[in-house]
Amino acid sequence: MASDSPPTIPTSTKPIPAREEDLSNPTTALLSFDTDSPTTSKSPHKPTTATIIFISLVLLTCIALSAAVAFAFLFFSTPQTTLNTSLSSSSSPTSSNDTASRPLKKLNNPVVLLISSDGFRFGYQYKSSLPNINRLISNGTEAELGLIPVFPTLTFPNHYSIVTGLYPSFHGIVNNYFLDPNTGEAFTMGSHEPKWWLGEPLWETVVNHGLKAATYFWPGSEVHKGSWTCPKGFCRNYNESVPFEERVDTVLDYFDLPSDEIPVFMTLYFEDPDHQGHQVGPDDPEITRAVERIDGLIGRLIEGLEKRGVFEDVSIILLGDHGMVGTCDKKLVFLDDLAPWIEIPHDWVQYYTPLLAIRPPKGVDLKDVVAKMNKGLESGKVENGKHLKVYLKEDLPSRLHYADSDRITPIIGLVEEGFKVEEKRTNKKECGGAHGYDNAFFSMRTIFVAHGPQFARGRKIPSFENVQIYNLVTTILNIQGAPNNGSLSFPNSVLLASP
Ligand SMILES: [Zn+2]
């Protein structure tokens, strides 16, 4: 147990040391009693006859022994109750007896199946009973308070951080939409040219090691990079109309291949519950139904893996890319309201909300733009102005890691949770959901659930940023990864040691 819980990552096994303390106390008490009892049997010796001494000693010994028996009974019976209570609570799912990883039963090599349920906000797992996801949680390792997305908490930047271990400023996908400052070309979610996609995604790392990878949708997976050519049959071109069941069944089919041809790394992607979250916000019953559907798909997957005898062999990592927060039109900031301080032309703005991205033309004093915008926002005369703050990108909080790329616009606005930035007032009225906010907001967190031979059962780990996933996967696969922003010690703090 100690071997899988280094000091940096506390585990759910905390109650176990507590139980050990419970046990040690009575033991010490009994020992001290035993040690003390001879002392109590000591009696003051008087220089009288041997008989008197002998009788006195026998009497005193009897009294001492009676006392010893009585005290022993008291001491022993009380802790016994505590012991029984402690042992009965050890059957809770958060306890874990794992000390070393479990050997593979059927597969020849470790296999990682990385599943993304888009917009699966942390907490959605409590919306319904979700028997299948909960089966993975209770028999696997879970980020107790969720997985922390990278900033901006948007789909493309996060999915690509998960598979490269890089912050967006380093992997290049700094937003779902942005312009190349040198060429003026636009990146969109349909751009598959390798020049946009920096870093080394897991499928490329795997193929570089002479192993097979298979992707059933993932942002960036269709991009030909290095030795990854998005091979037919092992890489799907994105098509949101493919039924989720078909995606699961295709992944299951890979396990019917001859052992040495089974891809060691696979991805599986579902658009839900992000799709519903945008329409109705995170608290609508429609989200509960969407999450239940995802649970059903996980059940279909588990059943298929069990049928093939490989469920316990496969390392399943179930996660999301970001959370979701409710938005309504009353929480709006209009850039047009800043006109008395500064006019922000439409073509300066690359992205409005929740991440405000502004690139004024060359020659414009950037500091002056930021100062005037903030002056207006802080004036108290702009509706909801105090909920938006504008920065030069180099002045953003360093924890956001959002400055080191010329693709990031020089001026960035951060809006408060649930607020939206728009150009001007319109007639459209809507309430829904959004993401893309500061990754410090709890509502932006998603889930991390991992099940497999190297994950302790019923273990809870603290929240961590998704740039750690890359090293986690390469460690499970026992391959050398590319340099990245994750920590090299992270995998050992989460994974069970090799037997
Ligand atoms: Zn998303």
* For residues 342-357, average pLDDT: 97
Q: How far away, in angstroms, is 192 Cα from ligand 1 center?
A: 18
Q: Indicate the helix (H) or strand (E) that contains 143.
A: strand 141-143
Q: How far away, in angstroms, is 303 Cα from ligand 1 center?
A: 27
Nearest to 25 by CA among 78, 88, 62, 63: 78
Residues with CB under 5 A from ligand 1 (ion): 118-119, 155, 274, 321
- Contact call for residues 373 and 342 (beta carbons, < 8 A): yes
Q: How far away, in angstroms, is 161 Cα from ligand 1 center?
A: 12
pLDDT tens digits, one per residue of 446-471: 999 999 999 999 999 999 999 999 99
Q: How far away, in angstroms, is 212 Cα from ligand 1 center?
A: 26
Q: Is pLDDT at 432 greater than 80 in this prediction?
A: yes
Q: What's the 3-state SS for 67-95?
A: HHHHHHHHHHHHHHHHHHHHHHHCCCCCC
* Per-residue CA distances from 81 to 13, 19, 25, 76, 84 (Å): 22, 13, 13, 9, 5
In the set 11, 94, 155, 446, the catalytic residue is 155
Burial, 391: exposed, middle or buried (Cβ in 10 Å; 0-12, 13-18, 19+)? buried
Encode 206-226: b = buried (16+ Cβ within 10 Å), e = exposed.
bbbeebbbbbbbbbbbbbebe
153 given a catalytic annotation:
no
pLDDT at 37: 32
Strands (E), 230-322: 265-270, 314-319
Q: What percent of the chain has pLDDT over 90?
A: 78
- Contact call for residues 415 and 387 (beta carbons, < 8 A): yes
Q: How far away, in angstroms, is 156 Cα from ligand 1 center?
A: 7
Angle in degrees, CA 109, 111, 116, rounded to 5: 175
pLDDT tens digits, one per residue of 273-303: 999 999 999 999 999 999 999 999 999 999 9
pLDDT tens digits, one per residue of 158-181: 999 999 999 999 999 999 999 999
Q: Is pLDDT at 272 greater than 70 in this prediction?
A: yes
Q: How far away, in angstroms, is 288 Cα from ligand 1 center?
A: 17
Q: Is pLDDT at 52 greater than 70 in this prediction?
A: no
- Contact call for residues 326 and 431 (beta carbons, < 8 A): yes
Range from 3-17, 130-144, 258-272 carrying the lowest mean pLDDT = 3-17
Q: Which distant-in-sequence residues (6+ apart) come within 8 Å of 431 by Cβ?
A: 281, 326, 327, 328, 329
What average pLDDT does the structure give for the chain? 85
Peptide bond into 152 cis (omega under 30): yes
Torsion over CA: 377, 326, 324, 222 (sign): negative
pLDDT at 94: 44
Q: How far away, in angstroms, is 382 Cα from ligand 1 center?
A: 31
pLDDT at 373: 98
d(CA 39, CA 42): 5
- Contact call for residues 448 and 133 (beta carbons, < 8 A): no
* For residues 33-46, average pLDDT: 33
Q: How far away, in angstroms, is 180 Cα from ligand 1 center?
A: 22
Tokens 């269709």 appear where?
A: 222
Q: How far away, in angstroms, is 112 Cα from ligand 1 center?
A: 21
Q: How far away, in angstroms, is 274 Cα from ligand 1 center?
A: 6
Q: Indicate the helix (H) or strand (E) that contains 470.
A: helix 469-477
* For residues 250-278, average pLDDT: 97
